[in-house]
Amino acid sequence: MPKSIDSSNGSQPIYRQVSIILAHEIRKAYTPGDLLPSETKLARRFNINRHTLRRAVDELINSGVVNRVRGKGTFVITPVIDYDIKKTTRFTENLESQGRRAHSQVIRKIALSAPKGVAKMLGLKEKEPVALIETLRQADNSPFCLVSHFLPYNKFFQVLKKYETGSLHRFIRKEYHLHLQRTLSLITAVLPKQNDAELLRTGINSPLLRVKSLNVDTVTGMPVEYAIARFRGDAAQLSVEP
């Protein structure tokens, strides 16, 4: 990766060279929300005029790398991740197939009485016990989504004791020899609750994409998991398999 400008005949336009250098530096040393040096400082660093520097930054904006905020500066933004909602594709596999690092952190694991809506989806009576596991999913070390997983407690109580991290569906497949298939996906734009906003490191007025899903055993059709996922609206582009 070049670190200096090549002004010889036949080289790329200077603004594009600067854009490439900055994009490389952002990938290596910046995280979403970081502020770039001012355009004046960057122009001085590359020994170019501000008009040329601005064209370079415009290239980064058009590529979805940064965002210019009037009066505040230019900020690195969260890259939008294409997330496929298919019958069997799961979070970990989804991101790993794109060459991204996926990580799942357990926020809490509890048993509770099933709320009416959860009980209906899982084929339980209202207030029957369910296991609730809440996980924070990260993509390349950045918060991506929060998921509330509900499972019938009487059948899957061991999940509360044994599951620690990674793909929950992979754990269920290994521990219970069940293969799950998604049969329902309801997608709604919502505003985050305070706790969700803090965990996802997003603003209280920044929309989330909420996905309610039902996963059943592929052999018997038995409901196994009802999940409510909240994706950062600025980080996810959801694609639903027909």
pLDDT digits (tens, 9 = 90+) for 184-222: 899 999 999 999 999 998 889 989 999 999 999 999 999
71 and 85 housed in the same domain: no
**Which range marks the domain in which residue 48 is found?**
14-76
Q: Quick one: 128 and 100 in the same domain?
A: yes
Q: Is the pLDDT of residue 4 over 70?
A: no
Question: Are 72 and 88 in a shared domain?
Answer: no
| 165 and 109 assigned to the same domain | yes
Distances (CA, A) of 149 to 105, 131, 185: 13, 8, 14
Domain final position from 76, 91, 119: 76
Bridge partner list, 124: none
Same domain, 224 and 125: yes
Q: Is the residue at 52 inside a domain?
A: yes
Q: Strands 129-139 and 180-190, how do they pair?
A: unpaired
For residues 110 and 26, membership in a common domain is answered with no
Instruction: Give pLDDT tens digits for 100-132.
Output: 788 889 999 999 999 999 999 999 998 999 999
Identify the band that residue 1 occupies on the pLDDT scale cut at 50, 70 and 90. Answer: very low
- Of the residues 76, 109, 128, which one is the last residue of a structural domain? 76
Torsion of the alpha carbons at 142, 148, 152 and 153, rounded to the nearest 10: 80
Q: Which of 76, 97, 114 is the last residue of a domain?
A: 76
My answer on whether 71 and 101 are in the same domain is no
Claim: this prediction has a pTM higher than 0.85: no
Burial call 66-77: b when 16+ CB within 10 Å, e when fewer: beeeeeeebebb
**Sign of the alpha-carbon dihedral angle for 45, 46, 47, 51:** negative
Q: Domain count for the chain, please give it.
A: 2
Provide mean pLDDT across the span 168-193.
94
Residue range 22-36, pLDDT digits in tens: 988 988 888 878 899
pLDDT greater than 80 at residue 78: no
Nearby residues of 219 by Cβ (< 8 Å), 6 or more positions away: 178, 179
Does one domain contain both 227 and 171?
Answer: yes
The rounded mean pLDDT for the chain is 90
